[in-house]
Amino acid sequence: MAADSANGRDGKFRAFLQARRMSYVLEVPVEQTVTDIDGRRRVDTLIGRAPAEAWHRVSCGLGVRGQRVYGVGHAAQFR
């Protein structure tokens, strides 16, 4: 499942996906808090902890202002 930040902010939606053991990718704002193995953290704190090799630049095609390039990081969460 992939969803934008409107769904990424919705804790009930994430709980729905997790209860069904579905893999998902959700956009979330940096001030969003999420649960990691050490407790609840802001997303920007977790981003700062990620090693450089966890990040990749990807293009989503041309937009009105040119190429839309995003930094994408990967993190796995297991329960």
4-24 b/e (C-beta count within 10 Å ≥ 16 → b)? eeebbeeeebbeebeeeeeee
Residues 15-43 have pLDDT tens digits of 899 899 998 888 888 898 887 788 888 98
- pLDDT reported for residue 20: 94
Mean pLDDT of the region 45-65: 86
- pLDDT reported for residue 77: 57
- pLDDT greater than 60 at residue 74: yes
- pLDDT greater than 60 at residue 79: no
- pLDDT reported for residue 75: 64
